[in-house]
């Protein structure tokens, strides 16, 4: 691909890639609320019971809000170091987004069937794979020189960034089949740590 085909930082094309990506993140994170269904025609006491039983759904909602929010912060930080784009990076970005956009589906499963090993394992698989794709995209951008020189200096540090979440989520898959609760505690520990360290 010729150089002229690389949208550089200042161009409208670069801005469109950023805007599209941010739009997808914003929509995916907002669609999470649709996993909270409201049943019709409940009596007063049935409504009361429904709301008391809604905690697993609310937990899944806030968990995925934190997960997608953290992916967005990571992507935001990654893009702030990117200076140019080629076709393959665009395709990698779309592939990564296809996993992020999928998150509301295992979220709804998790809210409905949080005690199920299958639901917990699927959630871990989707989020872990999204983290792996973030890492692949980051590596590609650094290798092909799409990232800024000063960013190259911290490459070693940054490179490992999405790898730890990927490993934790993947490691939680076999754990989920022994104890779904323990797998979810692993995620919470990871997320608290990630947000605390920035």
| Binding stretches for a copy of itself (CB under 8 A) | 1, 7, 9, 11-13, 16-20, 22-36, 38, 40, 42, 44, 47-48, 51, 61-62, 65-66, 69, 72-73, 76, 79-80, 87, 90-91, 94, 97-98, 101-102, 104-105, 108-109, 112-113, 116, 118-119, 122, 195, 198
Instruction: Report the C-alpha gap between 168 and 128 in whole angstroms.
Output: 8
Minimum distance from residue 19 beta carbon to a copy of itself (Å): 5
Instruction: Report the C-alpha gap between 52 and 65 in whole angstroms.
Output: 21
Nearer to a copy of itself, 38 or 156 (CB): 38
- Please state, as a whole number, how many other Cβ atoms lie within 10 Å of the Cβ of residue 115: 11
Instruction: Report the C-alpha gap between 159 and 196 in whole angstroms.
Output: 19
Do 85 and 17 touch, CB atoms closer than 8 A?
Answer: yes
Nearest to 169 by CA among 94, 89, 97, 110: 110
Minimum distance from residue 128 beta carbon to a copy of itself (Å): 16
Minimum distance from residue 58 beta carbon to a copy of itself (Å): 8
Minimum distance from residue 169 beta carbon to a copy of itself (Å): 18
Q: Which one-letter DSSP state was computed for residue 40?
A: S
Question: Could you give the 3-state DSSP secondary structure of residue 52?
Answer: helix
């Amino acid at each position: 691909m010729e150089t002229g085909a690389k949208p550089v930082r200042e161009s409208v094309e670069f801005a469109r890639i950023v805007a599209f990506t941010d739009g997808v993140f914003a929509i995916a994170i907002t669609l999470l609320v649709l996993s909270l269904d409201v049943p019709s025609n409940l009596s007063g006491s049935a409504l009361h019971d429904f709301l008391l039983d809604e905690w697993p759904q609310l937990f899944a909602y806030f968990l995925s809000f934190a997960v997608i929010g953290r992916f967005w912060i990571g992507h935001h930080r990654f893009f702030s170091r990117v200076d140019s784009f080629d076709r393959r990076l665009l395709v990698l970005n779309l592939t990564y987004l296809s996993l992020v956009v999928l998150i509301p589906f295992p979220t709804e499963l998790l809210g409905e069937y949080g005690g199920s090993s299958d639901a917990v394992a699927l959630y871990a698989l989707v989020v872990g794979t999204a983290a792996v794709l973030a890492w692949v995209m980051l590596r590609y951008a650094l290798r092909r020189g799409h990232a800024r020189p000063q960013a190259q200096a911290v490459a070693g540090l940054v490179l490992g960034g999405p790898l730890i979440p990927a490993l934790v989520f993947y490691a939680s898959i076999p754990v989920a089949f022994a104890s779904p609760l323990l797998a979810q505690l692993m995620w919470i520990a990871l997320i608290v740590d990630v947000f605390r360290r920035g």
